[in-house]
Amino acid sequence: MAYVILGTCINDAACVDVCPVACIHPAPAEAGFATADMLYIDPQICIDCNACAEACPINAIVREQDLTPKLLRYKTLNAEMALARSKVA
């Protein structure tokens, strides 16, 4: 299980600094941050600690198991963006 970032993300990166495993991308120092529509969480690395959800000012981070059917697409989107990043890294 992992946490998932929703499309309401405003890219303030408040979650990035609190993640103990650095699985939220793109971080401000990484390529693509300035132009990203939203950040995403790599589900392969996330350890379900909840720190990011507590840090997010607009509640844009949700536990995977709490996603409503309407929001499930963000689970796929986060995973796809993480996979795309791993292929160019």
Minimum gap (Å) between residue 25 Cβ and ligand SF4: 10
Minimum gap (Å) between residue 29 Cβ and ligand SF4: 14
Residues that bind ligand SF4 (CB under 6 A): 3, 5, 9-15, 18-21, 23-24, 39, 41, 46-52, 55-56, 58, 60-61
CA dihedral 32, 33, 35, 38 (to 10 degrees): 110
CB atoms near residue 10 (< 10 Å)? 12
Nearer to ligand SF4, 49 or 84 (CB): 49
Tokens standing for 60?
Answer: 């844009």
CB atoms near residue 7 (< 10 Å)? 11
Minimum gap (Å) between residue 41 Cβ and ligand SF4: 4
